[in-house]
Chain A
Amino acid sequence: MRPGELMMRLRGVGIDYLVQRYGYRSIKEYLVSIGSKRLLERKRIVQDLDLDIAAGECFGIVGRNGSGKSTLLRLLAGIIEPATGTYEVRGRVAPMLALGVGLEPELSGLENARLCAMLMGGDRPAMRSTLENVRDFSGLSEDDLRMQVKRYSTGMMARLGFAIATANDPDVLLIDEVLAVGDVAFQQKCYDRIGEMKRKGCTIVFVSHFLGEIQRICDRAGCMEGGRMVKVGNVHEVGVHYHGLLGIPTEA
């Protein structure tokens, strides 16, 4: 991937969630109407979204709860399809939408690494390199890794999850405020790792409530509100806009 080349291109993207309408009454109505009435209601979560992200860029997304940030990440991760518009995400995507996803408490750290590598769409060689990465990066000892994950502390889980997600040199890394857990040393290690991946040319989309985190690692940012990307620009501009939304006065 050459720097400057587009990695993600979204045009007029709208994402709907199909939500159950009004509980059990709806089933009766649905059955009585023999399927002519809809059981699920369409709710638009993200709308009219245009976004270009270039290779090697680190793009931050801020916004309030429920503004559609995580939904957008799910689209980029290939978990959901848009209802309207077109989108394209190039390269191998590593989603970190939650830490410890797919970890099975009864299995050991290593067994979990294998399983998660598969769930992330890997093949056998990918599985092997995931195991290596977990040994190198997680900071967990061989004994820890052979222990059942149910005996892990939250921090250990985070270490394992992060190591699994960042294995196999992804081209795109999607991070949804998952670094809040873990101790400061681990967080620092994560930021270092993210920086290292960025230098290798990995494109990063980073969602956070905390402007500080975004300003620390991102080149560019966007602010979401009510399912729309209301502001895109450098981290400072977006920060001012976001604080304006929250009603927090910004200095200067």
Chain B
Amino acid sequence: MQRATDLTIGRTGRSPGIPWSMVMEVAWKNVRLRYKSSLLGFLWTLLNPVLYLLIFLFIFSRAFAEVENYPVFALTGLILWTFFATTSAHVMGSLVENAHVLRSLAVPPLVFPLAQSLAGLFNLVLSFIPFAFILFAFGWRPHPVIILIVPVTLLFAGFVLGVSMALAALNVFFRDIGLLWNALLPAMFYITPIAYPPGLIPQDLRWIIELDPLHHYIRMFRTVVYEGRWPEGDAWVTTAGLTALALILGAAVFRRLRPGFIANY
């Protein structure tokens, strides 16, 4: 048997690469599982932001009369927010939930955070279709720059992956990370200008939202979708920088903590 020697496990013989076919299979499983035993299935992805939108419309639409087409403004923020909140939570739990597999099969741990992120991204892209109809109903019309939604979404997905792979790794050691994150999410939701226009923040407090990475991605997403404009150069630089930073830091944390995973799942 010739093949056997090629597959030797040992100090030297291990390939450090990511098994993408495995990642895709697990991602596809995650997509199917999310809606397997629910009646509304995929509609749940829409329900959450739409409910928020209704609440916003009810409470804020008068308050923010200066915002042109407030429903479109709010919904563009909500779409990204929902992706951030759900994907980060799913990725964070992905290592601990698959502890059984990670303890018994030679699966690289990174497979699970990657697969959950991909499943989240898939879901987001799929949800763009019904959201387009909702936006259309509110009088939104697509502009050719809408194509930029692709790089903007990818940049944001990379950022979410970077942040949540660090969370997933930390969560192996301290389950409080999950609880802490759940407590932090609503705070981030209100700090980030999602329901309200950023212009509402007083000038001397502006630095707070400038430090909030989510704000930069949402602003850029709105520039493309809501304003139908090409984002400025520094918006690209900021978001690309944030994504690179999140991925580098996330990977560093993950690498550093990985040797301890096996005894602490």
Contact = CB atoms under 8 A, between A and B. Distances in A.
Interface stretch (B17-25, B50-58, B156-164): B17-25
Interface stretch (A88-96, A187-195, A243-251): A88-96
A102 B106 contact: no
Given A89-B9, A90-B8, A104-B33, A74 B22 contact: no
A237 interface: no
Interface in B1-58: 1, 3-5, 7-11, 13-14, 19, 21-22, 25-26, 29, 32-33, 36-37
A102 B11 contact: no
Interface in A72-124: 74, 76-81, 86-93, 95, 97-98, 101-102, 104, 106-107, 111, 114-115, 118-121, 123-124
Interface in B159-179: 173-174
B31 to A, nearest CB: 12
A104 B97 CA distance: 11
Interface stretch (B68-76, B190-198, B240-248, B255-263): B255-263
A90 B103 contact: no
A70 B19 CA distance: 25
Interface residues of B, number: 36
Nearest to A124: B21
A79 B11 contact: no
A171 B11 CA distance: 19
B79 to A, nearest CB: 27
Interface string A32-53: 0000000110010000000000
Nearest to B107: A119
Contacts of A76: 9
A89 B10 contact: yes
A27 interface: yes
B4 A87 contact: no
A107 B262 CA distance: 26
A89 to B, nearest CB: 4
A186 interface: no
B103 A78 contact: no
A78 B19 CA distance: 15
Nearest to A88: B10
Contact of B104 (A95, A107, A123): A95
Contact of B100 (A92, A102, A120): A102
B238 interface: no
Given A18-B264, A89-B10, A118 B106 contact: no
A31 interface: no
B264 A20 contact: yes
Q: Which of A74, A78, A81 has the most CB of B within 10 A?
A: A78
B48 to A, nearest CB: 21
Helix, strand, loop or mixed for chain B's interface? helix
B22 A91 contact: no
Given A1-B4, A171-B1, A27 B174 contact: yes
Contacts of B147: none
Contact of B21 (A88, A93, A98, A123): A123
Contacts of A95: 104-106
A98 B102 CA distance: 11
B104 A115 contact: no
A177 to B, nearest CB: 13
B105 A77 contact: yes
B22 A121 contact: yes
B101 interface: yes
Contacts of B174: 27
Nearest to A176: B104
A89 B4 CA distance: 10
Nearest to A45: B263
A202 to B, nearest CB: 11
Interface in B127-142: none
A152 interface: no
Contact of B33 (A27, A93, A101, A107): A107
The 9 closest A-B pairs by CB, nearest first: A17-B263, A18-B260, A78-B106, A91-B4, A97-B104, A118-B25, A88-B10, A78-B9, A101-B104
26 contacts: A17-B263, A43-B263, A76-B9, A77-B104, A78-B106, A88-B8, A88-B9, A89-B10, A90-B5, A91-B1, A92-B3, A92-B7, A95-B104, A97-B103, A97-B104, A97-B105, A101-B101, A104-B33, A115-B25, A115-B29, A118-B26, A119-B22, A119-B25, A119-B105, A120-B105, A121-B19
Given A87-B11, A98-B103, 4 more contacts: A79-B262, A89-B8, A101-B104, A118-B21
